[in-house]
Structure 1
Amino acid sequence: MFKSVSGFCLLRPISTPDMERHRNSVTSKSKSYRMSYRSSLGAAASRLGLTPALTGRRLDTRRRAPKSHNITEKVNPEQLALLTKTEWQLSYVTPLYRFRHTQLKSYSGQLSAFIAAGKQQGLAVEVFDPQTAFRVSFSVVQGMTESDDDADTVLIQIHSKPLFARQDEPQKTVWSGLLTCVNANPEYLRSLPEYFICLPLFGSSGAEGLTALVKSWFQQSFDCCFGPLEISHTSLQWLMALWTNCHTESSIQHLKMIWTLPAVPPLQVTYTVNPEDAWELWSSVRKTRDKRGGEEEENCIDIEEVTSFMQGLKSHFYRHFKLDLSAGSLNQVSTALGSAKSSGRMKISNSRYMITTLALLTECALFKMPI
C-alpha cells in the first residue's frame, strides 16, 4: 500500500505523576462545573424550553466531502490572518440570552470596564504593564457562515502593553477570542426562543487570567455557561480523513499523529506519514466505497471509511514497529491544513478549508453542551 515508508516514530517516556495530577485536575474541574451548572443555570434551561428530544444530539456518522471555500473574498484580510495564525483553546458556550450583534460597540466598553475592575483586584496583570489600560474591541467576521440559520462570527480582541515595552510603543493585541457557529443543526437553532443567539464554539488565545475574566463577563451579561471542549478520538480521526481528502487540491505536506501508549513508563509515539502514501491509502478506501453508489455517494464520507483509513495506518505501523496503536489513545493530528489536540487546542492553517473544519468543531460543541 505504501510505496515508500517515510513514516517514523519517536518514543519517549511521560512522567506518570504528571499524568495523574492532570487527570485529577480534569476530574475535579468537571465535577465543579457540573455542580455549578446545576445550581446556577436551572432558570436559563427553563427559559430555553428545550425538550430531551432536542438535546439528545449525536455526532454525525456521515459528512459531505470537504469543499474549497475562497473566503478571502469575503473575510477582512486582517481578521483572516489572525484566524489562520492563531492556535485556539476551544470551549463550548451555551446560547447567549439577549446578545445582539448591533451592540458590539457597547459590549467593548462594558468588557473594558469589567477587566479594569478585575485589574484593581489584582487579576490578569501578571504579564502586562500595570500603568496601561486594557482596550477591548468586538467585531463581526463577515463571510464565516455556511447556512442562513448560522449567527455571524464575532471576534474579540484585547489590547494593552506587555511589561517592559518601550514608553512610546503602541498597544498590541494581547488576547483574542472567537465566537462562531458554522453549519449548526438547523432544527436545534430554530427551536431556540427569540432572545437566544447560538454561538456554541468559543476559541481563546492569550493569558488564562484574561480568558477567565472574559468568560465571567459573558456569563454575567448573557446568562450563558462555558465548558472545556476536548476533541475526541473520533473527531481527531474525522479531521485526519477530511484533511487528507483535500490533498490533491491543497497539499497536506505530511500527516502527523501523536499517540500515548500504556506502558511502564507510558510511551509517546510520533507517527508521520508521507502525504502521497496517506493519499494512496485514502484513495483505496474511497474507491471501495464509490463502487456502491452514484454521485451523491461520491460526495459523502461516512464513518466506516474513516475507520478503515485509520485501521490501515495502524496496520502499517504495526508491520514496521510491532507496536499496536489500538492499545493507546490518539492525542494530536496535524497536516499543513491545521493541527488539533485532544486537549482542545486547534489551529487552522489554510483558509480554504476553514469552513469545513469549523463546521465539525461547531458540531462537537453542540454535542458537548449540557442544554
Structure 2
Amino acid sequence: MERPQNSVVRTPPNSTAVQRRSKSKSYRQSYRSCLGAASRLGLTPGLTARRLNSSRRALKSHIITEKVNPDHLALLVKREWRLSYITPLHQFRHTQLKRYSRQLSAFIAAEKQQGVAVEVEGSQSGFRVSFSVVQGLAATDDDAETVLIQIFSRPVFAKQDEPQKSVWSGWLTCINGNPEYLQSLPKGFTSLPLFGGSGAEVLTSLVKSWFQQTFDCCFGPLEINHTSLQWLAALWTNCHTESNLQHLKMIWTLPVVPPLQITYTINPQDAWELWMSVRKDRLEKTEDEEEAGSIDIEEVMRFVQGLKSHFYRHFRLDLSAGNLNQVSTALGSAKFSGKIKISNSRYMITTLTLLTECALLKMPV
C-alpha cells in the first residue's frame, strides 16, 4: 500500500500563481519557436553554447532507503526506463496530484472511446491512474520533488476480487538542477526536466499528450550521448571498491558495411587498476579531500583511451573510429538510445544528477 501523502510537499517558490497571463503565454510560445528554428538549422535546441560539466564529484553512496518510500524505490530500481526531456510545466502543483490522477484516467478513457487502441496484454476493463510524490530524492531547495505516475488495469476476464496490476510506470524528476536556469524561470513554472517511462508505447504517448495539453509543455527524445556514456563508465568504475562492478561492458559500433557491433567486456579489477593509474597524479598532488574527490573530463578520456588502446593491441581494431552505444555494470546500464537502468539505489542520486544535466541541456530556451 502507498503511504499517505505528506501535506508539506515542496514545489519550488518560483512556481507560484502567474499574475500576467499574456507574459506567460508568450514565454511558453518561445519554446515552440525555438524548437522549430533549432530543427531547421540542424542545431541542438536552446542552450547550444553549453556543454556537460567538465568536472564533477565522484559518485557518492547515498543511503536513501531511510528517506524514500521503499515501494517507490523498488519501482525505480532494476527496471529499464526510456528517457525524454520535458520543458517546464505551467501551473503544475504537487498539491493537486489526486486531481491529476482523475484527469489522466478520464483522458485515457476518452481516447479509448474514440478508438485509440490502448489495450495492454489483452483486453482491459479500464485504467486507473495514480500520481504520487517520491520524497527524499530532491538534492537542493531549487529541485522540485520527484513525481511518480502509475497506470493500473485489470483484464476483462479477471476475477472480480483480483487486484488491478500496474501496466505502465513513469516519473518526472530534477536532481541537482542548474540553479541559474531554475531560478530564471518565470513564476508559475515548475521544472521537472527528466522524464522516464516504462510500459506500452501507446500509454507513454497518451501520458505525454495529456501533459502537453494540461501544462503547455513539450517533450523530446533524450539520447545519452557518447560523452555521457564515458562519464558513466568512469563514475561507475570509481565505485568498484564499495560495490563490486562484476563487469564493465561496453558496446561499440564501427562504421563499416555492414556496421560492426563489438561487445567489449573488461574484468572489474583490471578496469579499477587502469582507473587508479589515471587518478594517481591527482591523488598524489593534492591533500584537499574535496579536490581529490572530483573527477575531470580529461581523466575520463584517458581512462577510455586506455581501454581502447588495450583492445587495439589484442585485436587490431581502433574503437576510436566508432561510437560507444552502451555501458553496463552491476550498478546499472545506459544506452545511447536513451534507455537507463539503475540497479543500485545507493548511487541513484549522482546518476540522476548527470541525466538531469543532460535533460536541461536539451531545453530549447
Q: TM-score, normalised by structure 2?
A: 0.86
Q: CA deviation at 1:288?
A: 2.0
1:235 counterpart (228, 249, 255) = 228
Question: Are 1:347 and 2:358 matched, yes or no?
Answer: no
Report if the CA contact (8 A) 2:89-2:190 is conserved: yes
1:304 alignment partner AA: E
CA shift, 1:107, in A, is: 0.2
- Judge conservation of contact 1:127–1:163 (CA < 8 Å) in 2: no
Task: Tell me the secondary structure at the aligned position of residue 326 of structure 2.
Answer: strand
The aligned residue for residue 252 of structure 1 is 245
Deviations 1:249-280 (A, max 9, x none): 11111100011112222111001001100000
Q: Which amino acid is 1:300 matched to?
A: S
Alpha-carbon distance change, 47 to 304 in structure 1, aligned in 2, over 3 angstroms: closer
Are 1:124 and 1:207, in contact at CA under 8 Å, matched by a contact in 2? no
Judged with a 3 Å threshold, the aligned counterparts in structure 2 of structure 1 residues 69 and 182 are, in CA distance, closer, same or farther, namely same
User: Aligned runs of 1:1-371 on 2, under 5 Å?
Assistant: 43-46=27-30, 56-128=49-121, 130=123, 132-162=125-155, 165=158, 168-295=161-288, 296-371=290-365
User: Is the Cα contact below 8 Å between 1:70 and 1:352 reproduced in 2?
Assistant: yes
**Whole-Å Cα distance in 1 between the matches of residues 31 and 201 of structure 2?**
31
What is the CA-CA distance between 1:361 and the residue it aligns to?
Answer: 0.1
Compared CA separation, residues 177 and 47, structure 1 to 2 (3 A): closer
What amino acid sits opposite 1:219 in the alignment?
A: Q
Check whether the contact 2:77–2:341 (CA below 8 A) recurs between aligned residues.
yes
- CA deviations 1:193-224 (Å, max 9, x no partner) are 12100000000000010000000000000010
Counterpart secondary structure, 1:218: helix
CA distance in 2, matches of 1:306, 1:164: 54
Q: Which amino acid aligns with 1:72?
A: T
Q: Percent identity?
A: 74
Question: Structure 1, residues 217-243: CA drift from partner, whole Å, max 9, x if none?
Answer: 000000100000000000000000110
Query: Judging changes above 3 Å, is the alpha-carbon distance between structure 1 residues 53 and 180 closer, same or farther for their aligned structure 2 residues?
Result: closer
Bigger drift between 197-206 and 57-66 goes to 57-66
SS at match of 1:291: helix
Would the alpha carbon gap of residues 166 and 189 (structure 1) be closer, same or farther in structure 2, given more than 3 Å must change? same
For residues 105 and 351 of structure 1, the distance between their equivalents in structure 2, rounded to whole angstroms, comes to 27
State the distance in 2 between where 1:124 and 1:288 align: 59
What is the distance in 2 between the residues matched to 1:311 and 1:226? 35
Q: Following TM superposition, by how much is the alpha carbon of 1:171 offset from its aligned partner in structure 2, in angstroms?
A: 1.1
Distance 2:119 2:269 in 1: 47
Unpaired stretches in structure 1, ≥5 consecutive residues: 1-40
Matched residues in 1 for 2:103 and 2:217: separation?
A: 17
- Secondary structure of residue in 2 paired with 1:133: strand
Once the two structures are TM-superposed, the CA of residue 127 in structure 1 deviates from its matched residue by 2.5
1:358 and 1:345 map into 2 onto residues whose CA distance is 13
Encode CA deviations 1:150-208: one digit per residue, 9 max, x unaligned. Answer: 10000000001257655653210000011000001111111111210000000000001
How many residues get paired?
A: 329
Provide the TM-score with structure 1 as the length reference: 0.84
Give 1:65 deviation, angstroms. Answer: 1.2
Measure, in 1, the Cα distance between the counterparts of 2:185 and 2:351: 24
Q: 1:185 to 1:259 in 2, by over 3 A?
A: same
Instruction: Select between 260-269 and 122-131 the one with higher mean Cα deviation.
Output: 122-131
Q: Which runs of 5+ in 2 are unaligned?
A: 1-24, 35-44
Change (3 A) 1:162 1:59: farther
Contact 1:128-1:160 within 8 A present in 2 as well: no
Q: Distance in 1 between matches of 2:78 and 2:293?
A: 30
